[in-house]
Structure 1
Amino acid sequence: MNPRPITASNLIATLDLEPHVEGGFFRRTYQADHRDMLETTDGPRYLMTSIYYLLTEESPVGQFHFNHSDILHYFHLGDAIEYSLIHADGSLQTLIMGSDVLAGQQLQLHVPGGFWKASRLLSGEHGFGLISEAVSPGFDFADMEMGNRRKLTARYPQYRALIEKLTRDED
């Protein structure tokens, strides 16, 4: 008996994922609500939260966005995902999360708070890439800023082509 093939649509259904504002699909799987809230300059936050995050051929890009919290990403399955990080000093770093660790792909990725981050699904045999993220202090939409194409290209003109590819045109 052959196992049921894993597809983007059956992952979305099985994991009960919903569309994410930055692109892809997600579901919060954990929040440290058994502990006292952490007081931050922006208000109380959970000590940690965690989500599933899925990119698909139909929604292959996680748009540039900025988070205040540190995020640990964990690759689970599917095709590799490329991450573009703009550091606080303006330098660009590109990393690939995936299962081919012998080729330099990463199973875990730490993105400190204060970085601009975008992700995109790389072509492969599955049509999806599934990761988890653990966020500390816990994720709150008030701590996230979506990348504005015009503002980002004005600030980082050297990355114009990348920013245009990994943001929505909302002008």
Structure 2
Amino acid sequence: MDAAELIDRLSLEPHREGGFFRRTYEAGDQPRVLTPHGERLSLTSIYYLLSSERPRGHFHRNRSDIIHYFHLGDPVEYFLIDPQGKLERVVMGSNLARGEKLQLVVPGGWWKASQLQADGVNGFGLISEAVSPGFDYQDSELGKREILTAAFPQHAALIRALTYENAVD
């Protein structure tokens, strides 16, 4: 199966951060969670696909914690910047012997970006994300290149590569 067929079979749409997605679950029958920013669903989940057509998920951060689950395809490389500026690189994939991870937790408030590894043979990487409290666009911020490079100058080259030049929320 190639990326185009997965996009079709899973009914994925382009995501504002890059890649493709579709919300697959929201805990609509569960009590809502009260956060400092309003009520939220207790949990939401999506499919998320990077492909050779859209190989990057640009820097963004969410208020909620997110658990990522690798499904299939080529490895997906994540770059995480914690609030103090420490950079962490994690590769999600199925080759545990090479240190790839099947699961990744990104705490709320951390910046994250992702990219499909260039040496992959499938042309796509498919993951799922579970977000708690549930995802709401009001809780998500796209990384603005100028602001991020000022805050984390030690990561300027990476930030330039993985942000939209003129990001708008």
Q: TM-score range by the shorter chain?
A: over 0.9
Deviation, structure 1 residue 139: 0.2
Q: What are the residue-to-residue correspondences of 1:50-129 with 2, within 5 Å?
A: 50-123=45-118, 124-129=120-125
Long gaps (5+) in structure 2? none
TM-score normalised to structure 2 length = 0.97
Aligned residue in 1 for 2:151: 155
Which letter maps to 2:20? F
Which letter maps to 2:123? G
Q: Provide the aligned C-alpha RMSD in A.
A: 0.8
1:46 to 41, 48, 55: 41
TM-score normalised to structure 1 length = 0.96
Percent of paired sites with the same residue: 57
Q: For each residue in 1:31-85, what CA deviation from the matched residue of structure 2 results, as whole angstroms up to 9, or x when unmatched?
A: 0001111111111100000000000001000000010000000000000000000
Which letter maps to 1:48? L
Deviation, structure 1 residue 169: 1.0
Q: For residues 49 and 102 of structure 1, what CA distance do their matches in structure 2 show?
A: 31
Regions of 4+ moved over 4 Å: none
Secondary structure in structure 2 of the residue aligned to 1:167: coil
Q: For residues 149 and 90 of structure 1, what CA distance do their matches in structure 2 show?
A: 15
Q: Which has the larger radius of gyration?
A: 1
Q: How many residues align?
A: 166
2:13 is the alignment partner of 1:25: no
Q: For residues 41 and 14 of structure 1, what CA distance do their matches in structure 2 show?
A: 38
Which letter maps to 1:57? S
